[in-house]
Amino acid sequence: MIRFILSAALLFALTAPAFAQDSTCYIFNRIPVTGVDEIAKQLSDPKVRLEDKSCAVSRLGELSRELVNNKNVAPSSIYNPILGSLAPQTQTADHHILREAACQALARFSDLPESERLIQPLGKVVKEDSHEEVRLACARALSRFYKDAAGATTELVAALNSELERGPQADNVTVATAIIRSLGSLRDRRSFVPLMRVIQSRFPTSTKREAQRALENIKWD
């Protein structure tokens, strides 16, 4: 019965444009953790608007907080649909908005079981996504994986090394700076060498200052 009600509500919202604009996120926000399958279906439906998919992804991220007290729902049932949204779709206008929302949602799983499974996919996005805002969101997301600091640091270091190889460009200074800040938050000693390379690089002074701060944050014991 609950699935029928959820499906009917979503169908109404997604097929009534004037109504959907203001209320789709509200409807998603009323779906409990037992309705994750219905939310996931919206993400795989090509007829669903990008804006509505972003609402769905955000709701899945919010539902992660219920996993602490609910052992009957596997974290993967919630984060797998979000991971699927990270794949670029060049034929979909403004698809980067959905990927950015996905990065933000995945950050909410950072202190939960299975969080380590998210690090490599996020690292891939930081290094390879074509859109600066998505890479920024992903770098910031990785900064929250304190429980898996070693793995997150490894991915961020690989991304920073790639930017250092490129040198400062119009599309990577902001991203490199965000990566450096995330490394400073994680405080892992594995970031020492690449952060030193930043200080010795041609990146702007502001980026080098962030590298200096990150170096001072490293936890050596």
Write out the two tokens for 23: 């209320």
Other C-beta atoms lying within 10 Å of the C-beta of residue 146: 14
Residue type (1 letter), 43: L
Report the greatest alpha carbon distance in the chain: 63
The CA-based angle 217-219-221, given to 5 degrees, is: 155
pLDDT for 104 equals 98
Distances (CA, A) of 115 to 75, 121, 142, 206: 9, 11, 11, 32
pLDDT for 24 equals 81
Query: pLDDT digit string (tens) for 156-175?
Result: 999 999 999 999 999 999 99
What is the C-alpha to C-alpha distance for residues 218 and 220, in angstroms, rounded to an integer? 6
CATH of 118-221, one of 3.40.1280.10, 3.90.1150.10, 1.10.10.10, 1.25.10.10: 1.25.10.10
**Residue-range domain boundaries for the chain:** 1-114, 118-221
Contact residues for 54 (Cβ-Cβ < 8 A; gap 6+): 97, 98, 101
pTM reported for the whole predicted model: 0.88
Residue type (1 letter), 129: D
The CA-based angle 17-20-21, given to 5 degrees, is: 90
pLDDT for 22 equals 53
Residues in the chain: 221
Q: Which of 179, 113, 122 has the alpha carbon at shortest distance from 147?
A: 113
For every one of its 221 residues, what pLDDT tens digit does the chain have, with 9 covering 90 and above? 445 444 545 544 444 454 454 568 889 999 999 999 999 999 999 999 999 999 999 999 999 999 888 888 889 999 999 999 999 998 999 999 999 999 999 999 999 989 999 999 999 999 999 999 999 999 999 999 999 999 999 999 999 999 999 999 999 999 999 999 999 999 999 999 999 999 999 999 999 999 999 999 999 98
3 state DSSP class of 32: coil
Q: Are 112 and 75 contacting, i.e. CB atoms less than 8 angstroms apart?
A: yes
